[in-house]
A and B are shown apart, each in its own frame.
Chain A
Amino acid sequence: MAGVLGERGQASGSSGAAGDSPRHLLSIADLDAYKIVALLDRAEAMIPASRGEAKPEFSLAGKTQINLFFEPSTRTQGSFEIAGKRLGALVMNMSVRTSSVTKGETLVDTAATLNAMRPDVLVVRHGSSGAVKLLSQKVGCSVINAGDGAHEHPTQALLDALTIRRHKGRLAGLTVAICGDIANSRVARSNLLLLGALHVRTRVIAPRTMLPKGIELLASEVFTGMEQGLAGADVVMMLRLQHERAQGRMIPSVREFYRFYGLDADKLAHAKPNAIVMHPGPMNRGVEIDPAIADGPRSVITEQVEMGVAVRMAVLDWLVRGDLDMGSFA
């Protein structure tokens, strides 16, 4: 990542973070390939416990986990809550209502308030890119980024990778196509970083209005047509379209978007016959995906949700215990 982004200019001194601070999971960009694989392996091992089929080690017993969501989310918040509870943590959910005026104030103030309650882990989602990083600098506990603006959603990328690996048996050498509103997607960014680090061939497919500048340096290939972009793909990853925001600005209408970029059987036919279909949820059926595909045999969307719990258990366990490197090749 640093190599892609080049050197800083004639900047002043560096930001200089202290080295003894608690572990965080703020972005995939902070992880190397060994750490990613070690996390996936640990998540794999957590699957029985995440399903309630095996007794987990209560590695978070006596620990306090606070889920702090500045943006509403049922799926991710619930997934983190279950993951924490299965590991024995005391989990508290805080949904912070924010007005646009007081948003930032609330963030720094809330950080100070929460820090005084001495949590062990904070799971944070915020609508502004970099906000979770900022918050992590103001607290003394581990912080997990559960999505910050259009920046990153690292646990989503981990659970996606785990789902792919379970279906395909490997990651390296596969071709994964990510389709839709790339410009506004934190899921796309985290996935491009993670898959790129593991030598997966990544493609992005979107209309030009949804392709941010420089994306050709983050993805292996860039396409504006689904047929060409899906040709030979092993995995088709659809993104949620924020159609209320996009309509009129990035696309003229939902029906035109669906006609050219919605995943239906005709378009999916260009991918490999055994290609799997993924979606981070929540889905807009009939906007970015045909209901028949979403609920069809090639969809692994519910399995993604399931893997989410295992991945989040693995991440929580790592942050609290911190022995990820031992016993792995990291």
Chain B
Amino acid sequence: MIRPIVIANARIIDPASNTDRRGALLIADGLIAGIAEGSPQGVPDDAELIDARGLVVAPGLIDMRVFTGEPGREYRETLASAGDAAAAGGVTSFVLMPDSQPAIDDGALVDYVLRRAAAKSKVNVLPAAALTKNLEGQDLTEYGLLKEAGAVALTDGRHSIQSSALLRAAFSYAANFDLPVLHHLADAGLVGEGVMNEGLFATALGLKGIPAEAETVPLARDLQLAALTGVRYHAALISTAGAAELMATARRRSDAVSCGVSINNLALNENDIGDYRTFFRLMPPLRAEADRQAMIEGLRSGSIDVIVSDHDPQDSEMKRQPFAEAANGAVGLETLLAVALRLVHSGDVDLITLLRAMTSRPAEILGLASGRLAIGAPADVIVFDPEFPWVVEEAALRSRSRNTAFEGARLTGAVMHTFVAGQAVFSHAAMLEGAS
């Protein structure tokens, strides 16, 4: 029998109910059992008491876009190492992209991932299954069987479906089983050999550019096909002002469409690439500052729904290359919240809006019971100090791959405790020292 936990003296922020109040949280049997204003009354005798010291208590983060190397490339990342990184970053659930070897395109593989994750990962792993067989964009997978096996969504991960006819069929069939489709936006022809945002900076570096239209053209198509088919459509990542505008318009007509933004596109811009720094080679690419501002505005207005880490571990062999030959991607689970808090500290976004994009909105899109602090909800809870200063050190990251875009960055805000289903899965060293 696990002892109940009381987290007292907390600033409890629950974006789902739009509340931000002082109080205490009671966790019992893996669920949130009580929320008290002020000092808690009727604390069970056997309860473990955690003094939050005025820090923020919030729902654990739900990260809708995480890649690992399991199965197939375990040297990059395993479900266990990703789980450790997630727990330290306050991410209590993540959607696992099907881009592994083999690709997760079969019910048996969804089942395998769920069993491995249950045995190895400290946090909840929510498998997204392939939209097409082997992510090849040719043939539909078995959406009904995949859903029965436990897939929470359908996606071709890093791949973007080029055929409009196939996409229409996929959307229709996904709507049939009420599974959301998370789609990556990349017009293959317009991306071409591009490796960074098209513009002056790419021109000066002599690198081929990726125009904004490589994102907006497929998004416009997707939104029309979503309206046609009634699918629950989620644009996995947007990065351009044009895409934010398209989403804002579409949202006025339908609640069934949503979109995400990578923390990288919120915090960084194309200039960060500097002298060909390949850890800033990402897809979608880091865009112009005006695009970054549009991402922030979209977050404020609600036309951008979720923030993801787009955690994509790549080993040094893939990154220590000339820029045009390096792989895309950066790890981000551990730094997600702290980097996102920059937007709060800079006054761009308020804290509850920021947290909503990483808790209740992804939960709504995926149909999860978590992502909120409500009685009876799973006790996936974090305690964080929004003012805790620290410096990102590549060597200290828990991921097996160290391709962070924030090496050496000074961040303000750190997770102090992470609970998954009422179990403590992470405590910050600063809290352990102070505990005595």
> Which positions in A face B, CB cutoff 8 Å?
1, 4-15, 29, 103-105, 107-108, 126, 128-131, 133-134, 148-152, 183, 186, 189, 212-215, 217-218
Contacts and interface: CB of A to CB of B under 8 A. Distances in A.
A214 B203 contact: yes
A145 to B, nearest CB: 11
A133 B205 CA distance: 11
Interface of B: 198-209, 267-272, 274-277, 286, 289, 292, 317, 320-326, 342, 392, 405-410
Given A104-B325, A129-B323, A9 B267 contact: yes
A128 B205 contact: no
B411 to A, nearest CB: 9
Nearest to B203: A212
B202 A151 contact: no
B322 A130 contact: yes
B271 A6 contact: yes
A223 to B, nearest CB: 17
Nearest to B271: A8
27 contacts: A6-B271, A8-B272, A8-B274, A9-B269, A11-B268, A11-B409, A12-B406, A12-B409, A15-B277, A29-B204, A107-B321, A128-B323, A129-B324, A133-B275, A134-B321, A149-B206, A151-B205, A151-B207, A189-B203, A189-B204, A213-B199, A213-B200, A213-B202, A214-B200, A214-B203, A215-B203, A217-B200
A150 B206 contact: yes
A29 B271 CA distance: 16
Nearest to B321: A104
A316 B275 CA distance: 24
Nearest to A149: B206
Contacts of A107: 321-322
A307 to B, nearest CB: 24
A287 to B, nearest CB: 22
Nearest to B326: A104
A50 B275 CA distance: 34
B206 A148 contact: yes
A126 B322 contact: yes
Contacts of A7: 271
A132 B218 CA distance: 36
A123 to B, nearest CB: 17
Contacts of A186: 206
Contacts of B322: 103-104, 107, 126, 128-131, 134, 149
